[in-house]
Amino acid sequence: MKISTKGRYALRMLIDLAEHQNDGYIALKDIAKRQSISKKYLEQIIPILNRSGALNANRGYQGGYRLAQSPDKYTVGDILRLTEGSLAPVACLECDPIQCERAQDCITLPIWQGLDKVISDYLDGITLQDILDRQRELYANDYVI
């Protein structure tokens, strides 16, 4: 499994919106500038996030985007599944139930199922709020005398 640029940038964009959630609607150009991501690329990610209900949008002068829910409601796993489709480490786990004709006799299937569970449990256990909290901890301990 390899996370694409689209998945990584979507995560960075949502973290940025979470960081600035008290600033109202945030213009895409501001996110692009802060995150060093092309505005054009973010424009390709927006429809995916809009369709899922992850964002609220406001058009016009003071327009932009904001999270539809609080940062603790967004997991990294959910965000990556929106942009990547599946996080399954092998193709046979992308369908539920497993449709591989060898599934009953596959000696390696439990390995891939275990890996899939570890990946999902890990990514589903991290919220945007967790990321913000970790970042604040790092900066809180970064002082110079």
* Domain-located, residue 145: no
Total number of domains constituting the chain? 1
pLDDT of residue 92: 87
What are the tens digits of pLDDT across the range 53-101?
Answer: 999 999 888 889 999 999 999 999 999 999 998 999 998 898 888 888 8
* Domain-located, residue 120: yes
Question: Dihedral through CA 40, CA 21, CA 26, CA 11, nearest 10?
Answer: 0
Question: Which residues span the domain enclosing 110?
Answer: 5-140
Mean pLDDT taken over the chain: 92
CATH of the domain at 66: 1.10.10.10
What are the tens digits of pLDDT across the range 19-37?
Answer: 999 999 999 999 999 999 9
